[in-house]
């Protein structure tokens, strides 16, 4: 059984990829093992330093899904305004889109374009 | 026995569906009954695949002296309902039976707290009947009937949790969309029947004259199936339905969606394959719809906070890849050199992506169902730190997320690679959109993983445990398939995908009922 998938412009071999993954994994482990030897688990070292303020609860420090990619969404605000405007959730709009697209496709197919 | 396989594929789940209500209030028994019935259909579909791969197209004529008697003596046209099973049909049938089995297995624990489960399982098997009928039939009216069966069973399942207002609303929306699409399919079938006096797919395909009325029928069929498979901008029903349906039904419902995609391919390649000029136009429409679908789907997914709604938008986005791959192939179908150069591989990428997507999206929706099962919420803002409590679900999610993002060596990578390379040959801009969509897909799943599974353990989930074993087994089977299909893409391509693609390309075989007439 061959592992190599031949594509129109090249090939893909998952076995080779796995070999490289293991190789890079070993290199990463070697770098990791040369880390700071004075680090100790379950001591003061693992607590964040917040200028002497008490550590907030875990619920408060967790990054919520709504905050992730805030910048990306803000940058594309106008694009999302359009997208949200067309996603009305109204059944009548669903059917209108269907009829509109159907009319355009049929028009193209009967030679209108 | 083997010659009756196509009929058995429908008869067995139909029998299972009609007997399921007898298990009223015996919920464990009806679950096991469904697992057995759907398991039998998996075996039947594999046997059918073996028959078709070794013997070519299989025809089953209902009510004839012999199942292969296409034209009774004295007749020059087929008069009976028939199933015509080629490699593409078998490819879809395997997907349908496997996902129905996985769905039944997952449902064993996932819906155990619900009532009315005999109806739930009866509808699950009816949904399977509808899908199998759609992909096996060689008759246009029959296609409409099975489309209706799948649509009605699917909408009842979407609204199954009718104590939730959103579920009822989603169920009604799905029913309305399915009804309108089915009505237009029926209208198109009526147009073709009026012109050619027959409903047999192969017969009409051989005689179709491509006048304006035929093109209107093509337009109606194309648009209706495009809406049913969730192509943008007719995709609005998908997030509603996929979010509200119980997670165990997500896999067969996904296959039901792709049965409509199959019907779209069948119409474009088999029914109207001889339209030389307009077929390139149809291919371009399909490719552009594909690009729009993938990009709008993924950008909408990125802003969702409901985990199942987010994944539903990804289902839309991934449909775009299939439309793009097969659309590229359709554009060059009548250009032999381009077809050999990249068209066949483009179609292989699109068709391969169907089964890949069915596997990893079912897995991801099941992990979302597992999160809902243990936390009681689908809101990502309210989750966090669950990887420690649900390690197998977390690992399964990681596998599914890597696969959908096209990361090697998972299954999504191989099909996407074929689509990138081949769409580039038609127009590089198509590839740019496809690759950007993949990057955004990865970004979106990083968000889900970070907010649901990572972060500090939350107090409210202190007593949370991993989901029950049947749900774990269902997820692990799909995660294993993601890895296996990724490690051995050649095996799947050679045994299942390329025969399916060749069946679409060599439409003359289908038109002659596999050489029987």
DSSP character string of B398-437: HHHHHHHTT-TTSHHHHHHHHHHHHHHHH-HHHHHHHHHH
Q: What average pLDDT score do residues B226-235 get? A: 91
Q: Does B299 have pLDDT greater than 90?
A: yes
d(CA A53, CA B424): 56
Shortest Cα distance, chain B CAs vs residue A106, angstroms: 4
Q: For position B275, what pLDDT does the model report? A: 67
A106-110, B146-150, B311-315: which has the minimum mean pLDDT? A106-110
CB neighbour list of residue A98: distance below 8 Å, 6 or more residues apart: B177, B180, B181, B223, B227, B234
Higher per-residue confidence, B462 vs B514: B462
Shortest Cα distance, chain A CAs vs residue B201, angstroms: 20
d(CA B60, CA B418): 35
The 10 Å Cβ neighbour count of residue B193 is 15
**Minimal Cβ distance to B417: which of A12, A87, A102:** A12
Q: What is the pLDDT of residues B420-458, one digit of tens each?
A: 999 999 999 999 999 999 999 999 999 999 999 998 888
- The residue ranges of every structural domain in chain A are 5-109
Shortest Cα distance, chain A CAs vs residue B288, angstroms: 12
Taking CB atoms and an 8 Å limit, are A66 and B278 in contact across chains?
Answer: no
Chain A residues touching B450 at Cβ < 8 A: 63, 65, 68
Q: For position B437, what pLDDT does the model report? A: 96
Q: What is the ipTM of this complex?
A: 0.89
Shortest Cα distance, chain A CAs vs residue B302, angstroms: 8
Q: What is the pLDDT of residues A77-94, one digit of tens each?
A: 999 999 999 999 899 999
Q: Helix B307-331 crosses helix B428-448 at what angle (to 10 degrees)?
A: 160
Taking CB atoms and an 8 Å limit, are B299 and A12 in contact across chains?
Answer: no
CA atoms within 13 A on the CB side of B156: 16
* Closest residue in chain A to residue B492, using alpha carbons only: A5
Q: What is the pLDDT of residues B421-430, one digit of tens each?
A: 999 999 999 9
Higher per-residue confidence, A60 vs B271: B271
Q: Which helix (H) or strand (E) holds B254?
A: helix B250-265
Q: For position A50, what pLDDT does the model report? A: 79
d(CA B470, CA B474): 6
Taking CB atoms and an 8 Å limit, are B421 and A10 in contact across chains?
Answer: yes
B200: which DSSP letter? B
Angstrom CA distances, B271 to A71, A74, B186, stand at 48, 47, 15
d(CA B205, CA B97): 29
* Closest residue in chain A to residue B176, using alpha carbons only: A91
Q: For position A55, what pLDDT does the model report? A: 79
B489–chain A Cβ distance below 8 A for any pair: yes
Shortest Cα distance, chain A CAs vs residue B173, angstroms: 7
A51-65, B42-56, B500-514: which has the minimum mean pLDDT? A51-65
For residue B113, name the pLDDT band (cuts at 50, 70, 90).
Answer: confident
Taking CB atoms and an 8 Å limit, are B173 and A91 in contact across chains?
Answer: yes
d(CA B346, CA B342): 6
What three-state secondary structure class fits B137?
strand
Q: For position B367, what pLDDT does the model report? A: 96
What three-state secondary structure class fits A52?
coil
d(CA B294, CA B426): 18
The strand pairing partners of B306, in sequence order, are B379
**Minimal Cβ distance to A12: which of B223, B414, B457:** B414
Q: For position B277, what pLDDT does the model report? A: 57
Chain A residues touching B305 at Cβ < 8 A: 65-66
For residue B232, name the pLDDT band (cuts at 50, 70, 90).
Answer: confident
Q: What average pLDDT score do residues B43-64 get? A: 93
Q: For position B322, what pLDDT does the model report? A: 93
Average pLDDT, whole number, for chain B?
Answer: 92
Q: What is the pLDDT of residues B66-98, one digit of tens each?
A: 888 888 777 778 888 899 999 999 999 999 999
d(CA B396, CA B43): 26
B483: left (phi over 0), alpha (psi -120 to 50) or beta: alpha
Among A residues 59-78, those touching chain B with beta carbons less than 8 Å apart: 59, 61-66, 68-69, 72-73, 76
Q: What average pLDDT score do residues B40-60 get? A: 94
Q: Does A60 have pLDDT greater than 80?
A: no
The 10 Å Cβ neighbour count of residue B340 is 12
What three-state secondary structure class fits A36?
coil
* Closest residue in chain B to residue A81, using alpha carbons only: B300
Residues in chain A: 113
Shortest Cα distance, chain B CAs vs residue A37, angstroms: 25
Which residue bears the tokens 């155990």? B112
Shortest Cα distance, chain B CAs vs residue A29, angstroms: 21
Cis status, amide bond into B189, omega within 30 of 0: no
Among A residues 25-54, those touching chain B with beta carbons less than 8 Å apart: none
Q: What is the pLDDT of residues B149-207, one digit of tens each?
A: 999 999 999 999 999 899 999 999 999 999 999 999 999 999 999 999 999 999 999 88
Q: Dihedral sign, CA of B26, B32, B38, B43?
A: negative
- The whole-angstrom distance between residue B158's C-alpha and the CA centroid of its chain comes to 16
Contact B160, B245 (CB under 8 A): yes
Q: Does B344 have pLDDT greater than 70?
A: yes
Among B residues 260-279, those touching chain A with beta carbons less than 8 Å apart: 278
B448–chain A Cβ distance below 8 A for any pair: yes
Q: For position B155, what pLDDT does the model report? A: 96
What three-state secondary structure class fits B82?
strand
Based on C-alpha coordinates, what's the Rg of chain B? 22
Q: Does A59 have pLDDT greater than 80?
A: no
Contact B390, B372 (CB under 8 A): no
Q: For position A108, what pLDDT does the model report? A: 87
Average pLDDT, whole number, for chain A?
Answer: 87
Taking CB atoms and an 8 Å limit, are A7 and B381 in contact across chains?
Answer: no
Q: What is the pLDDT of residues B385-411, one digit of tens each?
A: 899 999 999 999 999 999 999 998 899
Q: What is the pLDDT of residues B350-390, one digit of tens each?
A: 999 999 999 999 999 999 999 999 999 999 999 988 999 99
Taking CB atoms and an 8 Å limit, are B451 and A63 in contact across chains?
Answer: yes
Give the predicted TM-score (pTM) of the model.
0.91
Reading the block at residue A13, the tokens are 């071999």
Q: What average pLDDT score do residues A35-57 get? A: 79
Q: Does B278 have pLDDT greater than 70?
A: no
* Closest residue in chain A to residue B172, using alpha carbons only: A91
Q: What is the pLDDT of residues B236-277, one digit of tens each?
A: 999 999 999 999 999 999 999 999 999 998 988 888 877 655
Taking CB atoms and an 8 Å limit, are B443 and A12 in contact across chains?
Answer: no
């Amino acid at each position: 059984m061959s592992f190599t998938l031949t594509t129109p412009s090249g090939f893909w071999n998952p076995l080779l990829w796995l070999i490289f993954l293991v190789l890079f994994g070993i290199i990463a482990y070697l770098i990791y093992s040369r880390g700071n030897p004075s680090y100790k688990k379950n001591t003061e070292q693992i607590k964040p330093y917040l200028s002497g303020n008490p550590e907030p609860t875990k619920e408060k420090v967790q990054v919520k899904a709504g905050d992730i990619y805030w910048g990306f969404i803000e940058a594309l605000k106008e694009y999302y305004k359009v997208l949200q405007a067309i996603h009305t959730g109204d059944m009548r709009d669903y059917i209108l889109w269907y009829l509109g697209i159907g009319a355009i496709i049929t028009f193209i197919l009967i030679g209108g374009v | 026995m083997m010659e009756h396989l196509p009929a058995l594929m429908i008869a067995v789940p139909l029998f299972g569906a009609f007997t399921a209500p007898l298990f009223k209030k015996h919920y464990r028994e009806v679950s096991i009954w469904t697992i057995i019935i759907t398991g039998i259909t998996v075996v039947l579909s594999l046997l059918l695949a073996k028959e078709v791969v070794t013997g070519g197209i299989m025809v089953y004529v209902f009510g004839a002296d012999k199942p292969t008697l296409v034209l009774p003596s004295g007749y020059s046209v087929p008069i009976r309902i028939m199933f015509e099973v080629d490699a593409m049909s078998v490819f879809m049938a395997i997907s349908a039976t496997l996902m129905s089995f996985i769905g039944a297995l997952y449902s064993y624990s996932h819906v155990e707290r619900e009532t009315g489960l005999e109806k739930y399982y009866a509808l699950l098997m009816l949904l399977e009947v509808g899908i199998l009928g759609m992909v096996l039939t060689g008759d246009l009216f029959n296609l409409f009937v099975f489309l209706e069966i799948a649509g009605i069973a699917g909408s009842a399942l979407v609204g199954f949790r009718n104590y939730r207002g959103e579920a009822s609303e989603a169920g009604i929306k799905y029913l309305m969309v399915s009804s309108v699409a089915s009505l237009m399919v029926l209208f198109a079938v009526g147009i073709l029947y009026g012109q050619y006096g027959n409903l047999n797919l192969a017969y009409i395909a051989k005689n179709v004259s491509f006048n304006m009325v035929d093109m209107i029928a093509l337009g109606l069929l194309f648009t209706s199936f495009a809406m049913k498979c969730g192509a943008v901008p007719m995709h609005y029903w998908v997030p509603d339905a996929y979010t509200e349906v119980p997670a165990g039904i997500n896999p067969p419902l996904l296959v039901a969606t792709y049965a409509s995609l199959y019907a779209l391919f069948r119409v474009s390649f088999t029914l109207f394959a001889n339209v030389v000029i307009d077929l390139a136009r149809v291919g371009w429409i399909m490719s552009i719809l594909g690009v729009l679908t993938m990009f709008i789907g993924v950008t909408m997914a990125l802003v969702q906070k409901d985990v199942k709604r987010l994944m539903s938008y990804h289902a839309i986005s991934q449909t775009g890849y299939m439309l793009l791959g097969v659309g590229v192939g359709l554009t060059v179908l009548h250009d032999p050199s381009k077809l050999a150069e990249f068209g066949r591989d483009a179609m292989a990428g699109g068709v391969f992506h169907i089964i890949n997507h069915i596997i990893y999206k079912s897995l991801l929706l099941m992990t979302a169902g597992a999160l809902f099962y243990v936390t009681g919420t689908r809101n990502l803002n309210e989750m966090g730190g669950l990887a420690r409590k649900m390690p197998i679900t977390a690992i399964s999610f990681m596998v599914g997320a890597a696969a959908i993002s096209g990361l090697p060596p998972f299954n999504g990578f191989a099909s996407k690679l074929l689509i990138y390379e081949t769409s580039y040959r038609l127009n590089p801009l198509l590839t740019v959109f496809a690759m950007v969509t993949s990057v955004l897909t990865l970004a979106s799943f990083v968000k889900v993983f970070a907010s649901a599974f990572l972060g500090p353990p939350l107090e409210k989930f202190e007593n949370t445990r991993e989901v029950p074993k049947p749900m774990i087994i269902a997820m692990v089977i799909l995660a294993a398939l993601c890895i296996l299909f990724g490690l051995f893409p050649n095996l799947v391509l050679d045994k299942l995908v390329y025969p399916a693609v060749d069946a679409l390309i060599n439409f003359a075989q289908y038109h002659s009922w596999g050489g029987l007439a």
